[in-house]
Amino acid sequence: MANAQPIEIAGHQFERKTDALAFMKVMLNRYRPGDAVSAADGAFLAEALKRHPEARTKIGPGIRSFDVRSADYGTKCFWVLRIDGSEARFSYKSCV
């Protein structure tokens, strides 16, 4: 069995990556498609998004806010809304 890898995101300490993923899944499930993400959750997501393998592309010129939208196969996902009006969806799993 692999050793647990602690992870810190936006001041939140997680003992394992799976704990961070569970935290973010709960966050996503607090919202329905079309909902804007709260400022507190958005601050966490902004820090998490910096860990995404395509962070530069996803963040672009800067983050205005986040929302939740429908995704493939009846799922939902986070979207980053940029300051220039452009948008991109991203997988929270890729941020961990």
Domain 7-95 = CATH 3.10.20.340: no
Q: Give the pLDDT confidence score for residue 2 in this predicted structure.
A: 61
Contact yes or no for 58/87 (Cβ under 8 A): no
In this predicted model, what pLDDT tens digit does every residue of 52-91 receive, in sequence order? 999 999 999 999 999 999 987 888 999 999 999 999 999 9
Phi, psi at 22, each rounded to 5°: -65, -40
Minimal CA–CA distance to 77: which of 86, 88, 69? 69
Structure tokens at 64: 């205005």
